[in-house]
A and B are shown apart, each in its own frame.
Chain A
Amino acid sequence: MPAEGSGFVHHACLYGSDAEFLAMAVPFVTAGLAAGEPVLAATTPANIELLRQALGERAHALDTAETAYFGRRPVERVTAFLRYHDHRTRPGRRTRMIAEPVWGGKSARQVAEWKRMESGLNVLLAGLPVWMICPCDTRSVPRDVAQAACATHPARMDGERLIPCGTYADPGDYAAGVQLPRIAVPAGAARTGPTELLADVRLFARARAVAGGLTGERLSLAVLAVCEAAGYLLGPRGARVALRGWEEPGALAYELLRTHEGTGGAAEPVPVFAGFRPPGDAAGPEDGLWLARSLSESLDVQARGALTRLTLRVAGPGNAERLPPPRPFP
């Protein structure tokens, strides 16, 4: 089977039947297990069941994850990949992953974010001894998603045959070309700044979260998300942020607009895939942005000239996914 080298290898697999899925997955898994490599199948429950049946006794050695729960959002997905690798990696051996995203039912924004992330994996996991194959079920995914698979993976697997993707794009260029739905900031949005003071950011974030109906732990997490995002933007000397905040159905939205004053010129632009890797043993400059992404429903960074616009949404009080359990012994 192909995929030589010690760095990250990222392949797509467009399949249109169970048989086509298994034609790729069974040899991929079998060869990995035979070589003593950790192997993960993060795919649909149906595919996991197919794969287990096909592998027979060998399925006991296969790690599996129902893909919908292996990272709900892109930042969680990247974190899940890295943590799996950290937990399972064996010296001198590659790690194999089948990683099939859930595309069905996603909003236009979510689909765009996942396409970007698929491309970003080529950067974020570069250097890791991981061979990842991302299956894409052409029976159910929209055509644009199948096309994107060929733009975000350098090659695709057809059974055991490797086919280069002629439309593969540089991740940075690809991400820049994927447009997210435009955000309309309401005219009545609250605003503050520009400021370089985190205390100002904190007060504004809290006031907006309170006004939006958040309380307790969720209020504190919303404030933390905004402050960590602001802390990241305020890193360069002379940077200031102006904030706007408003309510949307199901979410509280904040916009942080970074300007730069001083003699040192504009701050370096935010790397397109910044803040997707979880904090490591040593402090990193993107740690806070990772936390902001992890605590937000969405977080998008755009640059225009010397301006950097970061927009994040945190779940509003009506988000029933995150309701705390009832207090015991009321």
Chain B
Amino acid sequence: MVHPHGVRRRVHVGDLQPGDHACLLFESDEERASILRDFVLGGLDAEDKILYLSGAESPDGPGVLWDECRITTVPGGLADRVEIVRLAEFLSVTGQLEPAALMRRLRTAAARSREEGYRALRVAGDPCAALCDDEHSAIGGPGVARLLRYEALLAKEFSSGGALAVCQYDIRRCEPAALDAFASAHARSVEADPLVRTAELVVVRTYRPQGLRIEGVVDAGSHRRLRDALRSVAGVRGDVRLEMSGVEFLDLGGLRLLMTFARARAARHATVELSGLPPHLLHVITLVGWDRTPGLRLGAVHAC
């Protein structure tokens, strides 16, 4: 299986630009909803039109998108710029996806959005919905080739910059080889917008495994931001991993925040793994005696 944060370039959903064709490999509805929500709401800020490829049989307006994004309060002006397109419209009589027909539809929509004064068309959807009605069966087999054809057309069409797309693939439903192929059809993989993004510190919510990726500098000036980011994963069920290999500097106060978080997780019978910990921080944790903190797991140390 392709690792979603592997060789492809990661891009935060808020940083996507016209011309981008990115995949979202998700393993939970929460993960998909979070990123899709940012993608849709980002369209409002960027003056984009939004086209959602729905797998539903008979979509009832943009409500299907609000449900998938878990948007409960729709911002003003958003519904007017959303178009729902059913994937079922592009199936042959034998139930096969017709990539060229779908592509023509998207091309027309992109042209129209520009005529209407929008900056670009942003397309989102789960293409696998066109392959299989049975949500319990794995995606694989001959349908994959047609989907890859669609992805190739999309990449070529959108590279001109008039549109941007996030293609969602459910890791739980795709066979490993198919997922590998789908991922390879995209130059970039999308991830959630950072919970913290300053000149010195970036903290990103991760979902596989559940946790945070911390990059940059944590000092007294950013303790509050780190504390808030940790709170955002306080409700996660089960274990949490904090990916630390991108940490350049973390002071004692910042380390204490992580220990406090681990202790709180231990009270819920869950652990906090510090993964990719720079060796000097392992030294400090041991020096203070925090290596025996309940709930704390020290994962692989990041090589210097």
Contact = CB atoms under 8 A, between A and B. Distances in A.
Interface residues of A, number: 22
A291 B284 contact: yes
Interface string A183-213: 0000000000000001100100000000000
Contacts of A227: 219, 249, 251
B298 to A, nearest CB: 15
A217 B220 contact: no
A283 B253 contact: yes
A231 B219 CA distance: 9
Contact of A217 (B221, B252, B253, B283): B283
A217 B252 CA distance: 16
Contact of B278 (A198, A199, A220, A279): A220
Nearest to A291: B252
A218 B278 CA distance: 11
A228 B280 contact: no
Interface in A198-255: 198-199, 202, 215-218, 220-221, 223-224, 227-228, 231
B182 to A, nearest CB: 36
Contacts of A220: 249, 278-281
Contact of B289 (A215, A224, A278, A288): A278
A278 B288 contact: yes
Nearest to B301: A217
- Main DSSP-derived SS at the B contact region: helix
A202 B200 CA distance: 12
A222 B253 CA distance: 17
Contacts of A223: 249
- Main DSSP-derived SS at the A contact region: helix
A209 to B, nearest CB: 12
Nearest to A222: B280
Contacts of B220: 198, 231
B74 interface: no
A245 B256 CA distance: 29
B287 interface: yes
Interface in B16-38: none
A216 B200 contact: no
B280 A221 contact: yes
Contact of B252 (A198, A199, A279): A279
A100 interface: no
B217 interface: yes
Interface of B: 200, 217, 219-221, 249, 251-253, 256, 278-281, 283-284, 287-289, 304
Given A198-B221, A216-B279, A220-B278, 7 more contacts: A202-B217, A217-B304, A227-B251, A279-B252, A288-B251, A291-B252, A291-B284
6 contacts: A202-B217, A217-B279, A224-B251, A224-B284, A227-B251, A231-B253
